[in-house]
Amino acid sequence: MNAESGSYFNRELSLLAFHRRVLAMAEDTGVPVLERLRFMCISSANLDEFFEVRFAALKQKQEHGVHHSGVDHADLKWLVATIREKALGMLHDQYQFLNRDLIPALAAEGICFLRRSKWNEDQQAWLKHYMRHNLMPVLSPLGIDPAHPFPRILNKSLHFIASLEGLDAFGREHRLAIIPAPRTLPRIVLLPEEISGVPYGFVFLSSIMHAFAEELFPGMTVTGCYQFRLTRDTELYLDEEEMADLKQTVKGRLLTARKFGRSVRLEVAESCTPEMSSYLLNNFDLQADALYRVDGPVNLHRLAKVYDYVERPDLKFPEFIPSMPKSLRQSDDFFAVLRKRDVLLHHPFQSFDAVRILLEQAAEDPNVLAIKQTLYRAGDQSRVVDALCKAASRGKEVNVVVELRARFDEGENIHLSETLQQAGAHVVYGIVGYKAHAKMLLIVRREGQQIVRYTHLGTGNYHAVTTLLYTDMGLLTSDPFIGADVHKLFQELTGLGKAVQLKKVIQAPFDLHRMLVECISREADLAASSGRGRIIAKMNGLEDTGIIDALYQASQAGVKIELIVRGVCCLKPGIKGLSENIQVRSVLGRFLEHSRIYYFRNGGKPEVYCSSADCMIRNLRGRVETAFPVLVTRLRRRVVKEGLRYYLRDTASAWRLRSDGGYVRVRIRDKRHYFSAQQHLLEHFSGPNEDD
């Protein structure tokens, strides 16, 4: 069956639904209050990125005369209008939650946002001093007149527009001025406790600017002061025919262009007058439907600093220390361990230090000849990069594939690539036209008369911070077939030649899509013949229609299909005659669910793959990805139990996708059935019976 457009949900609306579920985590009173603040900030940042990337792309399509978009072929005019309606609803919910629920809940704990209308004399004096001595030296008001046109506005930067009366020092009559808030300025100011009267008293930068705006315009009267923020298109558009050097292209004009891309959205304070709003829209060449009014600060994400300022562990998730697998913990020689057994790592419950220590041992080991690694996101001051640099400086052959086009990490990746090159590593930038998204590490070691390859394959990045925040799985192995496959993959990435045949590892864009469809179809055939077929898959997004159609066909053949899809899901579950045997759930929690796992019952001989790839068009067709089999029975059982079955049992943070596209929170009446997958894993790996 070739499913028609009516068989798919719209990707953009599904993504917005995910962002709304993140906000629901903030609204959950069972979550510690500072974590609720953090979830609200994450939901705000998610919505920003949606407008910067997804919505901007839709607007560009409109400008080019495209009328339909997405796997569902949605009418573009309708889709843009629907997105605005849902985004307005989400903004309303965010600010209502902030003002009605979060601020009072924080105040009850001595964490207060001091409103300008309620400042006492001491607070007023302290803040005026702060304005004069901390803000004014770095503020540069920009009057608008024929000699001073409207300035260029950076993407997502906070600005104020002030209306003025009176004459300046040169006798000029200014009506308007723009006040940029430098990004070095804090958006919230913490007052001393003796001034605020509470343990943690905060004032918004916008409140200070509004209260003391006339300090910036001596002798003039400020008749209005309004905060605003412009969101721009931040996608990097590469013309491969004109590009001679990828790094220089990204480093040069493209990162600069991102700051001043096409205008997409204008946020203004609720108090901003219609005349001022129209003036701003005209200057940004935006229509009225691009205006979003907010009842509070225009960038909620900046409130995340409160989480860092407030030292109240009782208002945050309990701290945890990731465990080290027992076999590695008991050995000073990781190579000796991996010669005997494969090691499965389940982050963040198990420590990413296992990978880092292996790299550091490799850098020091005189028997290690070469190290090869992919880096998609590595973070600043990465100890992984330090180990690679040390290995290169010691004369080892170090080859690193750095993906320069990892969105919003391009500048950081350019810096780390230059650091690696200065240390003597060979650095390549992936394949033009295909992002290098695979997570691979290969260590080549001489052992007697043999060359042994040690491999790490993972579902997540080599990033020390995100390994504490995201759930991911990784495999450490000395399996010779996997090592040979990864060696061939690095040859593809760094050299030239046709796609190679691999024995164990599956790669995109060549084989992964086909393999998944074949495995799904095999389950359909088995179900048709024996009445038993089972697929369980966990991923971040499901969009590819080839995969969805194969799942529909398997469902119709009687295969029981359970999908754990964190974010975008274009498949419609539970529709009679199409997908009645498919269930979809989304699990959100303390950690961002990030691992990709594909389980096929295979007639009682289960096959399990972990992968760097989601079932998105971009992953399967436009990126270099890997899926690796978990071959050892004890580890395969762990992956199924920890990565799949626990999440199918979850009643704490799970949502069920309905056939109409809505999500319903999984609720239980009997508390004995309450189960949190993430909490269970935290407790399990901190106990004496941890798996290895």
pLDDT in tens, 204-234: 999 999 999 999 998 889 999 999 999 999 8
**Cα gap 539→472, rounded to integer Å:** 11
Would you list the DSSP string of 416-472?
HHHHHHHHT-EEE--BTTBEE---EEEEEEEETTEEEEEEEEESS-S-TTGGGTEEE
Under 8 Å between Cβ of 265 and 51: yes
The mean predicted confidence, pLDDT, of the chain is 92
The CATH code for residues 508-685 is 3.30.870.10
First to last CA, the chain: 44
> Residue 612 carries which side chain, given as an amino acid letter?
S
Provide the 3-class DSSP secondary structure of residue 8: strand
Would 5-315 and 508-685 be classified into the same CATH topology? no
- Of the chain, the percentage scoring pLDDT greater than 70 comes to 93
C-alpha–C-alpha distance, residues 257 and 252, integer Å: 9
Q: Which CATH architecture has domain 5-315?
A: 2-Layer Sandwich (3.30)
In this structure, are residues 269 and 226 in contact, taking their beta carbons and an 8 Å threshold?
Answer: yes
Tell me which residues are annotated as active site. 437
Distance of alpha carbon 39 from alpha carbon 30, whole angstroms: 13
**Beta strands 111-113; 200-204: pairing state:** parallel
Percent of the chain with pLDDT over 90: 81
The whole-number pLDDT of residue 673 equals: 86
- Rounded CA separation 381/174 (Å): 47
Proportion of the chain in helix, strand, coil states, percent, rounded to 5: 45, 25, 35
SS3 of 491-552: the string is HHHHCCCCCCCCCCCEEECCCHHHHHHHHHHHHHHHHHHHCCCEEEEEECCECCHHHHHHHH
Over range 386-392, report the average pLDDT: 95
CATH number for the domain formed by residue range(s) 326-501: 3.30.870.10
DSSP H helices in 65-118? 76-96, 103-107
Domain boundaries, the chain: 5-315, 326-501, 508-685
Q: Tell me the per-residue pLDDT of 539-597, one tens digit each, with 9 for 90 and over.
A: 999 999 999 999 999 999 999 999 999 999 999 999 999 999 999 999 999 999 999 99
Tens digits of residue pLDDT in 609-621:
999 999 999 999 9
| Confidence bin at 447 (pLDDT 50/70/90) | very high
pLDDT class of 261 with cuts at 50, 70, 90: confident
